[in-house]
Amino acid sequence: MIRETPFQEVFIPEEFDEEQLMIKQTCVDFIDAEVYPKLDAIDAQEEGLMQQLLDKAGDLGLLSVSIPEAYGGFGKDFNTSMLVADAVGAGHSFAVALSAHTGIGTLPILYYGNEEQKQRYIPKLASGEYKAAYCLTEPNAGSDANSGKTSARLNEQGTHYVINGQKMWITNGGFADIFIVFAKIDDDKNLSAFIIERNFGGVTMNPEEHKMGIKGSSTRQVFFNDCMVPVENLLSERGNGFKIAVNILNIGRIKLSAAAIGSSRKVIDHATNYANERVQFGLQISKFGAVRYKLAEMAIRLFAAESATYRAGQNIDDAYEQLVAKGMDSAQARLKSTEQFAVECAITKVWGSEMLDYVVDEGVQVYGGMGFSADAPMERAYRDSRINRIFEGTNEVNRLLIIDMLLKRAMKGELDLMGPAQSVAGELMSIPDFAEPDSALFAYEKRVLQNLKKVGLLVAGAAVQKLMMSLSKEQEILMNIADIMGYVYLAESTLLRAEKLVHMRGEELVKGQIDIARVYLHSAADHVYLAGKEALYSFAEGDELKMMLMGLRRFTKVEPFNSKEARQRIAKQLIEANKYCF
C-alpha cells in the first residue's frame, strides 16, 4: 500500500526449479493414480480407505516435505510445501485429510514442541504412522475460539492434566492417533495446548457429521472425559495456546489458498474440455461468447490468486532465511516469518477461496444439466469448494483481521500508514497531473495501480480519523477497506508477474498473461471504486464527502479498455490448449 514493488522482488510460479516441479509431479501422479479412481469410495467413507491413502502418501514422502531431515523429513522450503498443497488440492476430501494432518495436526508440535516431544511424535507423523487432528472449535466457541470451555486440571500427584470438554467439527477425528487439544487450565483466561494420544483413554466421539461437501473427510465431535494427559504433553507454556492456534492458522490460510488453486486448475481443465466437446446449435459451446467469457474469467481469477499466493509464500521463505541468518532458531523463524506476512496469508485465504467458489460455480454452468449430475465432476467440485470460506477462520473474520493487523502495526509504529494517508489527503487539494502517460509497457497500468493504493490510504486514513476507536465496530466499513486492500494486492501481484514474464520470455510469448493482468486490474479498479464509495458514504458528509468522492473518482479513473476482446483472446488460448495454460 505504501511503496512500489519492482518486479525483480517478487517470486512467480514460473521460477520453480526442476526439483520442485518433480515433487509437484509426484503429487499429481499420486492423486491421479490413487485418489481419482476412488473418489466415490472415499466419499462413502469406506472403512480404512482414507488411512490407507495417507499411509501411501507417507511412503512416498508427501507428508514430510517440509519437515526437517532430523525428524525424518525432506526439509524443503515453505513454497515447496505450498506447491504440494496446490498439487494435492485437487484431491477433494483426501486433500482436506492430508492438509489437516500435515498442517494444523503436525505443525503445532514441530514449531512449539520441545526436543523430546518432537523426537517422540514428528518422525511418526512424517511417515504417516500417526495421523493427526486439531481440536480448537467447540459448540459454543467457533470464530471466538479463545472462549472455549474445555478444561484442564492438574491431578493431585502433579503427574497428569485431567482434560474434560467437547470439541466440534474435528477433521480426521474418526481415525486420528494424535489430537492437538486446546483447553484452559483452571480459571486461566487463555487457552493452553496439549498433545493427546487417542489411547490415553477418556477420548470418545460422535458418529460422522453429515456434510454438504468433502463427504469423505472424517469430521467428528470429540469428547474428553477425564482424559489423563501426562504433564510432559503440555505444548509450549501454560496460556500460550491461543497464540499457537493463531500462528498455525496463518500457515493454514495461505496453504488453503494453494489448495484452492490446485482445485481450480482441475475444474478449468474439465470445463475447457467439456466446452470443446459439447455441441449445441451445430457449434461447440466453446465458440459461444458467453461461454468463452466464463472460461476466460475463471482463468483470470486463478492466475491472480496464484500470483499473490506464491509471491507471499516466497516472502515467507525469504524472511525465514534472514531470521535464521541472524541466528534465530529454525522453528521460531518459521513462525516469525509467517507472522510477518499474516496479512497476506489472510488475503490469499479470502481471495483464493472466493476464486474457487467462482470457478466451480461457473464450471457447473459450463456443463449445463451435466453440471448438476453427480456422475460428472462438477457436482462434487461445487459441493467440496464451499467449506473453504468457512474453515481456517471464516472469510468475514479474515477480512476483519486484515485491517486489524494493519492498524495494529501502524499503531505500533512498524508501518507508516498515516504519513502516506496524509499525503494522499493533501493531494486532493492539488491540481491533478494531466501529463501524457509514459508509453512504456505497463507504465499506464502501474499508474492505475498506484492510484488504487491511494484509494486504500484515503479511505482507511479518513475512516481512522473520523471514527477513531469506534472504527473497530464498523464492520461494514472494515469489509470495504479489506476489499480494497485485497484487490490491490492481487492486481499488483498479477501485474508484477506479467512484467517479470515479459523480461523472462519476451512480450510475444506472454501476451495472454499480459491480457490477464490488464483485465484483472481494470475490474479491480471497479471493485475498489465501489468499496470506496460505500465506505465514504457511510461516514463522511457535506463538502468533505464531495471532496473525497472527487478524489475517489480521480484515483479510480481508467482509460477505456476493451475487456471483451482481451477475454476472447484469453479464452482462445485456453480452448486451443484444451486446458488451463497460463
- The number of residues that bind ligand FAD (CB under 6 A) is 20
- Does 81 engage in binding with ligand FAD (CB under 6 A)? no
- Does 180 engage in binding with ligand FAD (CB under 6 A)? no
DSSP state of 6: P
Chain residue at closest Cβ approach to ligand FAD:
142
When the beta carbons of 482 and 495 are compared against ligand FAD, the nearer one is 482
- Does 337 engage in binding with ligand FAD (CB under 6 A)? no
Q: How far is the CB of 178 from ligand FAD (least distance, A)?
A: 13
Q: How far is the CB of 142 from ligand FAD (least distance, A)?
A: 2
Among 67, 87, 100, 463, indicate the residue that binds ligand FAD (CB under 6 A).
100
157 burial type by CB count under 10 A (0-12 exposed, 13-18 middle, 19+ buried): exposed
Please give the full DSSP string across 405-446, using - where no structure is assigned: HHHHHHHHTSS--HHHHHHHHHHHHSPP--PPPP-STTHHHH
When the beta carbons of 101 and 500 are compared against ligand FAD, the nearer one is 101
Using CB under 6 A as the binding rule, the residues of this chain from 256 to 285 that contact ligand FAD are none
Q: How far is the CB of 136 from ligand FAD (least distance, A)?
A: 3
**CA–CA separation, 97 vs 34, rounded Å?**
14
C-alpha cell, 33: 493414480
Q: Which residue has the cell 491431578?
A: 155
Among 135, 267, 308, 364, indicate the residue that binds ligand FAD (CB under 6 A).
135
When the beta carbons of 11 and 224 are compared against ligand FAD, the nearer one is 224
Cβ-count burial 305-327 (b if 16+ within 10 Å, e if not): bbbbbbbbbbbbbbbbeebeeee
Please give the full DSSP string across 497-547, using - where no structure is assigned: HHHHHHHHH-GGGGHHHHHHHHHHHHHHHHHHHHHHHHHHHHH--HHHHHH
Q: Which residue has the cell 472469510?
A: 395
When the beta carbons of 257 and 563 are compared against ligand FAD, the nearer one is 257
Stretch that binds ligand FAD, among 167-175, 186-194, 324-332, 450-458 (CB under 6 A): 167-175
- Does 394 engage in binding with ligand FAD (CB under 6 A)? yes
Please say if 392 is a catalytic residue.
yes
- Does 134 engage in binding with ligand FAD (CB under 6 A)? yes
Among 137, 257, 264, 348, indicate the residue that binds ligand FAD (CB under 6 A).
137
3 state SS of 113: coil
- Does 147 engage in binding with ligand FAD (CB under 6 A)? no
What DSSP element (H or E) covers 561?
none
What DSSP element (H or E) covers 343?
helix 342-367
DSSP state of 178: E
Q: How far is CA 334 from CA 77, 123, 317, 485, 496, in A?
A: 10, 19, 8, 25, 26
Closest Cα to residue 260, out of 364, 128, 392? Answer: 392
Among 88, 170, 234, 410, indicate the residue that binds ligand FAD (CB under 6 A).
170
What binding mask, one character per residue, do residues 196-215 give for ligand FAD by CB under 6 A, x or -? ---------------x----
Among 64, 66, 150, 219, indicate the residue that binds ligand FAD (CB under 6 A).
219
When the beta carbons of 180 and 291 are compared against ligand FAD, the nearer one is 180
Contacts of range 534-538, beta carbons closer than 8 Å, 24 or more positions apart: 534/476, 534/480, 535/459, 535/463, 535/477, 535/480, 535/481, 536/459, 536/462, 538/474, 538/476, 538/477
Q: How far is the CB of 211 from ligand FAD (least distance, A)?
A: 6
Q: How far is the CB of 231 from ligand FAD (least distance, A)?
A: 23
- Does 169 engage in binding with ligand FAD (CB under 6 A)? yes
Closest Cα to residue 234, out of 101, 116, 126, 333? Answer: 116
Q: How far is the CB of 390 from ligand FAD (least distance, A)?
A: 5
Stretch that binds ligand FAD, among 55-63, 84-92, 116-124, 130-138 (CB under 6 A): 130-138
When the beta carbons of 38 and 215 are compared against ligand FAD, the nearer one is 215
Q: How far is CA 264 from CA 84, 139, 294, 384, 395, in A?
A: 15, 32, 13, 12, 18
Among 136, 163, 260, 335, indicate the residue that binds ligand FAD (CB under 6 A).
136
Q: How far is CA 402 from CA 144, 304, 406, 424, in A?
A: 17, 19, 6, 21
3 state SS of 278: coil
Q: How far is the CB of 93 from ligand FAD (least distance, A)?
A: 10
What binding mask, one character per residue, do residues 519-558 give for ligand FAD by CB under 6 A, x or -? ----------------------------------------
Longest dimension (CA), the chain: 81
Among 79, 171, 250, 556, indicate the residue that binds ligand FAD (CB under 6 A).
171
Please give the full DSSP string across 481-502, using - where no structure is assigned: HHHHHHHHHHHHHHHHHHHHHH
Query: Residue 306 half-sphere exposure, CB side, CA atoms within 13 Å?
Result: 27
Using CB under 6 A as the binding rule, the residues of this chain from 395 to 414 that contact ligand FAD are 396-397, 400
Among 60, 390, 545, 547, indicate the residue that binds ligand FAD (CB under 6 A).
390
**CA–CA separation, 451 vs 525, rounded Å?**
9
Contacts of range 436-443, beta carbons closer than 8 Å, 24 or more positions apart: 441/499, 441/502, 441/507, 442/495, 442/498, 442/499
Query: 516, 12 in Cβ contact below 8 A?
Result: no
**CA–CA separation, 460 vs 12, rounded Å?**
29
Catalytic pick among 392, 445, 492, 499: 392
160 forms beta bridges with 230
- Does 242 engage in binding with ligand FAD (CB under 6 A)? no
Among 360, 387, 491, 496, indicate the residue that binds ligand FAD (CB under 6 A).
387
Stretch that binds ligand FAD, among 33-41, 80-88, 164-172, 326-334 (CB under 6 A): 164-172
Stretch that binds ligand FAD, among 123-131, 132-140, 428-436, 442-450 (CB under 6 A): 132-140
Using CB under 6 A as the binding rule, the residues of this chain from 447 to 476 that contact ligand FAD are 475
Stretch that binds ligand FAD, among 131-139, 296-304, 349-357, 439-447 (CB under 6 A): 131-139
Point out the residues that are catalytic. 392
- The residues that touch ligand FAD, with contacts defined as CB under 6 A, are 100, 134-137, 142-143, 169-171, 211, 219, 387, 390-391, 394, 396-397, 400, 475
